[in-house]
């Protein structure tokens, strides 16, 4: 371990299971941490993939995988600070006749950006579980992709200037759209900072929780978000930093799990993970490369299948194993 601490600029969001790291009560051994708050964290995504502004950053995993495929000089640690399933959240117009995923073929579907992780994971379900031919869907986006090198497939188009996806859904131009990832929401429901609309669209899968429970039991895939990445140059000079970061996050999560067990963790996100425990077990935020191998490999494969990456990538290219450092 280095005698002098290494100064690192770190941009991670506030979560109940990361707050002890951000406030310094759980230090990262050997690191003088300067925490940068970017609200929303999506702003940090673009600053990292375009300008490599931080030494350590929380990124959406699909954004990371795409950036890495195009040569980004940072690598992932197998720390996933947000998890959820994606059978729910794809909203459909009740008059569009969309009963199954295959009914989306030949139609227009809205998503904020084609590479947004929610959209990628949901398309994985639609393609692999229900046989959707994604190339037969016209995906309509109204935002730019984080990774500027990404070349979008021909069946991805941009909404007309001045027209939101919510407007297109309301007019019937779109038959479906992602709630929080497209600004197409239910009445009174938050839409992740995007335009909220007076609409009440049903989910494509009204029994999403039942499907997610069966999907996880059968596949072992547990979709991740909030991947932690570190500059290659930082690890080249101080490879021990990977383990120090991993250990700090693991300790912060351990203490959070104890609060969940004791019933003293009561934030909205805590309640979400208490529900997810019913599907995935005691630890709803598993860290580690081997513990997440199936999920990582599934996202890497589906990113390539959906035309987001120019080549296939091996596990060692994508994630450091902190336990082996």
- Give the neighbor-by-neighbor strand order of the sheet with 56-59: 31-35, 6-11, 56-59, 224-231, 74-83
Residue 189: phi, psi to the nearest 5?
A: -95, 140
**pLDDT for 168-212, tens place per residue?**
999 999 999 998 655 565 433 333 333 444 468 999 999 999 999
CA distance 36 to 57: 9
Sort strands 90-92 and 224-231 into parallel, antiparallel or unpaired: unpaired
* DSSP secondary structure, 121-182, as one string: HHHHIIIIIH---GGGSEEEE-S--SSTT----TTEEEPPTT--HHHHHHHTS-SEEEHHHH
* pLDDT band (50, 70, 90) for residue 323: confident
Whether the per-residue pLDDT at 220 is higher than 90: the answer is yes
**Could you tell me which of 40, 39, 31, 37 has the C-alpha nearest to residue 7?**
31
Residue 50: phi, psi to the nearest 5?
A: -95, -35
pLDDT of residue 322: 93
* pLDDT band (50, 70, 90) for residue 4: confident
Helix (H) or strand (E) holding 43: helix 42-51
What CATH number is given for 6-85+223-324 in this structure?
A: 3.40.190.10
Average pLDDT over residues 150-164: 94
- 119 neighbors 152 (Cβ within 8 angstroms): no
- 300 neighbors 312 (Cβ within 8 angstroms): yes
CA distance 21 to 247: 11
> How many Cα atoms sit within 13 Å of 171 on the Cβ side?
9
**How many CB atoms within 10 Å of residue 281?**
11
CA distance 97 to 104: 9
pLDDT of residue 253: 98
What share of the chain has pLDDT > 70, as a percent?
A: 93
Q: Where in the chain is CATH 3.40.190.10?
A: 6-85+223-324
pTM of the predicted structure, to 2 decimals: 0.92
What integer best gives the mean pLDDT of the chain? 92
- 78 neighbors 233 (Cβ within 8 angstroms): no
**pLDDT for 48-98, tens place per residue?**
999 999 999 999 999 999 999 999 999 999 999 999 999 999 999 999 999
């Amino acid at each position: 371990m280095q005698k002098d601490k290494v100064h690192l600029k770190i941009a991670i969001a506030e979560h109940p299971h990361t707050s002890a790291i951000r406030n310094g009560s759980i230090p990262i051994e050997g690191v003088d941490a300067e925490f940068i708050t970017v609200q929303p964290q999506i702003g940090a995504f673009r600053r990292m993939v375009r300008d490599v502004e931080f030494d350590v950053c929380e990124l959406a995993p699909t954004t990371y995988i795409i950036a890495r495929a195009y040569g980004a000089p940072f690598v992932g640690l197998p720390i996933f600070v947000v998890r959820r399933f994606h059978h729910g959240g794809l909203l459909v117009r009740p008059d569009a006749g969309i009963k199954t995923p295959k009914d989306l073929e030949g139609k227009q579907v809205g998503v904020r950006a084609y590479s947004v992780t929610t959209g990628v994971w949901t398309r994985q379900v639609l393609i692999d579980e229900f046989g959707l031919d994604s190339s037969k869907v016209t995906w309509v986006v109204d935002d730019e992709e984080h990774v500027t090198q990404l070349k979008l497939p021909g069946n991805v188009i941009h909404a007309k200037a001045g027209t939101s996806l919510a407007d297109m859904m309301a007019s019937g131009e779109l038959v479906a759209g992602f709630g929080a990832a497209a600004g197409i929401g239910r009445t009174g429901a938050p839409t992740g900072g995007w335009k909220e609309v007076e609409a009440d669209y049903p989910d494509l899968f009204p029994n999403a929780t039942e499907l997610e429970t069966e999907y996880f039991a059968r596949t072992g895939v547990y979709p991740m978000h909030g991947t932690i990445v570190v500059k290659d140059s930082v690890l080249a000079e101080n490879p021990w930093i990977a383990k120090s970061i991993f250990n700090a996050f693991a300790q912060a999560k351990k203490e959070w799990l104890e609060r969940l067990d004791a019933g003293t963790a009561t934030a909205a996100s805590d309640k979400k993970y208490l529900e997810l425990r019913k599907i995935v077990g005691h630890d709803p935020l598993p860290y580690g490369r081997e513990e997440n191998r199936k999920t990582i490999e599934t996202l890497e494969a589906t990113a390539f299948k959906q035309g987001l990456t120019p080549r296939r990538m091996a596990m060692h290219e994508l994630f450091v194993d902190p336990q082996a450092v």
